[in-house]
Amino acid sequence: MELLKKSAIELAQMLRAGEITSVEITEACLDRIAAVNDRLHAFLFVDREGALEVARGVDADRAAGKDLPPFAGVPVAIKDNICQHGTPVTCGSKMLEGWIAPYDATVVANLKAARLPIVGHTNMDEFAMGSSTENSAFGPTVNPWGEDLIPGGSGGGSAAAVAAYMVPWALGSDTGGSIRQPGAVTGTVGAKPTYGNVSRYGVVAMASSLDQVGPCARSVADAAALQEILSSHDPHDSTSLPQVATGLHDAAAEGLAATDLAGLRIGVVTEMAGEGFEPGVLAVFNETVEALRARGAEVMEVSCPSFDSAIAAYYLIMPAEVSSNLARFDGVRYGNRVEPTSGPVTSETMMAATRGTMFGAEVKRRIILGTYALSSGQYDKFYGSALKVRTLVQRDLEAAFAQVDVLVTPTAPTVAFKFGEKSDDLMAMYMNDMTTTPANLAGVPAMSVPAGLSEGLPVGFQVIAPAHEDARMYKVAAMVEAIADPSARECPVEVGEK
């Protein structure tokens, strides 16, 4: 267990010092997965052989004295909507069950170039739609902090895998909070990079103008290091930025070591620090802000009025893009075909049977909503107004960042809730995303860092930075990590063990 609790950075140091082999670390992760995955259901696919093969290659090259990338041999997991050549990718949906990815996503190519053994694919809400993993067609993931608790969503599998020491770090995708909210409720770190910083090529699209791949880890420095591995300019993704992210890990190290925060201007978003938040969450949030102030940071309230409407705009723009992106799953181009059982067999009835059978309720709901919002009579009223709100969110953020270096909010309104608690109350489920969606709408980087405990469960603190200032985000998040109660990021290990 001692080994599994180490950070990716520590493991990389041990590997470089020859104190351990990649095969030993990878086997420890695989054994841990084998021991707890039946209960936690964080992984949908485990690639023992594939991961060990990479580990053996790294060990052999190290023994031969070859030059290796800094994190070579440290295992990683990926969310099951990221294509890895020759392995099954389901997106948590029956639609893609049994599909084998024919190529590598650019982020997977980057992981391979960094020589990280990929131990498997993690569970998620179907096509990344949800906040609890209850929408996975293969059953939910359990939060390692408690048997009856959701691990957040849609990337609950990656967050639970990292929290439960099955793997030191993992990849998620964040369209409206799916890396950050799972991070908040599992006591892990989750970051959404600046839009375009990490390639989306080979990542199954949910809402293309919002989707961004990013890291899940147990420390800010690990998350920063993983984003540096992921970030690249990619000609296959037309929205990929020309500049790659550098200096993130150094920024995190600087933030962690800083004791005098004078000169740092922190904005508390007025609209995100009162109504709608659990008192325990607000208490941890306020204590953290006070601790930052006590270390010399200048704290001020900043109003972002559009944030109140951001969630409504998100729940129009996202389904509009979903309805378009998921049209390809029709039993012809993609997806498991279902023939109609009665009536004439035409391409139309086959597609109806395929989509009717293979998509779950939430996916269907969003496709219908998005199709309606884009329909000719309704376009201006719904999609058009949502785009206007999106512009207002961008303007509010620009104005805010003229006054402060970063904005902060609680990452989620509550701590981990119980299975079933919100699955019948869609509004309550959607309101989970009120703090996280503004960053996606504006394309700016945002991350969650564990700040403390409320009733024994982790509370996440969100740091939002201006576009391209990912290094600043990591630096401030590391400052939060330095003052936070460490028990918020140390999941009790016995949970999840038989």
Q: Which is nearer to ligand GLN, 204 or 251 (CB)?
A: 204
As measured in angstroms, the least distance from the Cβ of 192 to ligand GLN is 8
- Would you give the end-to-end CA distance of the chain in angstroms? 15
d(CA 365, CA 376): 19
The whole-angstrom separation of Cα 252 and Cα 224 is: 7
Q: How far apart are CA 263 and CA 275, in angstroms?
A: 30
Inter-residue contact 223 to 474 (CB < 8 Å):
yes
Torsion sign across C-alpha atoms 40, 362, 354, 155: negative
- Closest CB 205 distance from ligand GLN, rounded Å: 11
Q: Are 146 and 102 in contact (CB under 8 A)?
A: no
Name the minimum Å distance from CB 316 to ligand GLN.
Answer: 12
Reported as half-sphere exposure (CB side, CA atoms, 13 A), residue 422 has a value of 22
**Is 178 in the active site?**
yes
Identify the CA nearest to 165 among candidates 77, 70, 253.
77
Site string for ligand GLN, 300-329 (x = CB under 6 A): ------------------x-----------
303 among known catalytic residues = no
Residue placing its CB nearer to ligand GLN in the complex, 58 or 128: 128
Q: Among residues 177 and 183, whose Cβ is nearest to ligand GLN?
A: 177
The one catalytic residue in 93, 131, 136, 154 is 154
Out of 178, 188, 414, 448, the residue judged to bind ligand GLN by CB under 6 A: 178
Say which of 93, 131, 136, 178 is annotated catalytic: 178
126 is a site residue for ligand GLN (CB under 6 A)? no
Q: State the burial class of residue 37 (Cβ atoms within 10 Å of its Cβ: 0-12, 13-18, 19+).
A: buried
Catalytic residue chosen out of the listed positions 79, 94, 422, 475 = 79
- 94-98: list long-range contacts, CB under 8 Å, 24+ apart: 94/137, 94/336, 94/357, 94/358, 94/360, 95/329, 95/334, 95/335, 95/336, 95/354, 95/358, 95/359, 96/204, 96/329, 96/334, 96/335, 96/336, 97/137, 97/336, 98/336
**Catalytic-residue membership of 154:** yes
Residue 192's beta-bridge partner residues? 446
- Phi and psi angles of residue 446, each rounded to the nearest 5 degrees, phi first: -155, 145
Contact residue for ligand GLN among 11, 129, 393, 453 (CB under 6 A)? 129
Least CB distance to ligand GLN at residue 309 (A): 16
Among 122, 175, 240, 414, binds ligand GLN (CB under 6 A): 175
Please report whether residue 143 would count as binding ligand GLN according to CB under 6 A.
no
Among 154, 188, 409, 435, binds ligand GLN (CB under 6 A): 154
Distances (CA, A) of 118 to 2, 12, 46, 79, 229: 21, 15, 9, 11, 14
* Binding string, residues 432-451; x marks residues near ligand GLN by CB under 6 A: -x------------------
128 belongs to the binding site for ligand GLN (CB under 6 A): yes
User: Closest CB to ligand GLN belongs to which residue?
Assistant: 178
Give 129 or 253: the residue with its C-beta nearer to ligand GLN. 129
Least distance in Å: CB of 17 to ligand GLN? 38
Assess 131 for contact with ligand GLN (CB under 6 A): yes
Is residue 185 near ligand GLN by the rule CB under 6 A?
A: no
Return the range that interacts with ligand GLN (CB under 6 A); candidates 2-10, 176-184, 236-244, 447-455.
Answer: 176-184
Pick 165 or 195: Cβ nearer ligand GLN: 195
Buried b vs exposed e over 171-202: b needs ≥16 C-beta within 10 Å?
bbbbbbbbbbbbbbbbbbbbbbbbbbbbbbbb
Interface with ligand GLN by CB under 6 A: which range of 122-130, 137-145, 352-360, 464-472?
A: 122-130
Among 107, 162, 185, 206, binds ligand GLN (CB under 6 A): 206
Instruction: Candidates 129-137, 268-276, 409-417, 462-470: pick the segment binding ligand GLN (CB under 6 A).
Output: 129-137
Neighbouring residues of 79: CB distance < 8 A, sequence distance ≥ 6? 121, 122, 124, 155, 157, 158, 170, 171, 172, 173
Amino acid at 278: E
Task: Indicate the residue among 386 and 484 with the shorter CB distance to ligand GLN.
Answer: 386
* SS3 of residue 457 by DSSP: strand
Query: Which residues are at the interface with ligand GLN (CB under 6 A)?
Result: 128-131, 153-154, 174-178, 206, 318, 433
Q: Which residues are catalytic?
A: 79, 154, 178
